[in-house]
Amino acid sequence: MVAQWRERGLAIDVHEPAPVTVDQLCYAHARGFVEGVLAGRLPNGFGNTSRKIAATLTYTSGAMLAAARHARAHGGNACAPVSGFRHATYREANGFCTFNGLMVAACALLDTTSVAPR
């Protein structure tokens, strides 16, 4: 996909995201839900308990957070082509979204250390 963007003349820089932490996911989600999904005990946004999918989930929200941090630090545009996973609710996955990466990124940017993870 990045090669296609570059072929169209877009100046694209790719940065490898760091995964978000369980505590960061808990800014937007119940701790039991987060830990259950990551351990493969509760269904993810695809309706299964795949450990392979679970292993990617901290990186998908991490990509959103990395893009938001980059835009805040440098201005301009940044994106996380993995999407924002905005359909997930506090206690369950929904609409192919396991965690709400938009909310996780927003809370992390605000450094919501006063919000006690649940």
Contact 108, 65 (CB under 8 A): yes
Q: Give the confidence band of 56 by pLDDT, cuts at 50, 70, 90.
A: very high
Q: Could you read off the pLDDT of 58-109 as tens digits, one per residue?
A: 999 999 999 999 988 888 888 888 866 789 999 999 989 999 999 999 999 9
Q: Could you read off the pLDDT of 8-36 as tens digits, one per residue?
A: 988 788 888 899 999 999 999 999 999 99
Global model pTM greater than 0.75: yes
